[in-house]
Structure 1
Amino acid sequence: MADDDKDAIYADFTDAVNMTPAELEKWLKTEESRESGTGVGHDMGEHIVAIRHKKKADLTDEDYAQMKKVTGYVHRHLKQGGPEEDKEHSPWRYSLMNWGHDPLK
């Protein structure tokens, strides 16, 4: 993977993931997180925390592949716009939060 590609993926990922590692770790321990959708998002949240704890120089190609997947997921779900009412407690928001993005931030 070219360094330019990695820089673009990294920038997109850091824009898409607006929760800190500590916020995401705390969220992943909640019942709402575990009950939101499938375990895929919850598992990805754990990968995101691990990626966010690494230095950029230590990221692997697999990390970049995961980062690209996260960015795509967040962008697709944000386009859905979520529910008109009670976005705060919606499955839409909870799913995004499992992927490191809180749409209410």
Structure 2
Amino acid sequence: MYAIIDDSGQQFRVQEGDQIEVDLREAEPGATLTFDRVVLIGGGEKTLIGKPHVAGATVSAEVLGETKGEKLISGKYRPRKRSTRRRTGYRQHYISVRITKINVA
């Protein structure tokens, strides 16, 4: 069985045992997160499609720890007299979670 969950404007297709990275929030490693915005549940005899979310369905996950994404680098350059060169980088922070259970009410 799989589910499609909506978290912070992103959708993830998950199954039990999958490990995903979601946007950073306050949670200790070993804590349990519950995603209640489930868009679709499928994989069995019947597929449940939410309008916009499946009523009563939740996905439980265990927090593994905090991670960082790849570094994104941006730059600005102005030629000639002003001769400005600027380069900055940014790394998004995430938390890794492992999907433990998909609940259908």
Fold match by TM threshold 0.5 = no
- Structure 1 length-normalised TM: 0.25
Bigger strand fraction: 2
Larger Rg: 2
Greater share of residues in helix: 1
Q: Which structure ranks higher in relative contact order (CA pairs < 8 Å, sequence separation ≥ 6)?
A: 1
TM-score, normalised by the number of residues in structure 2? 0.25
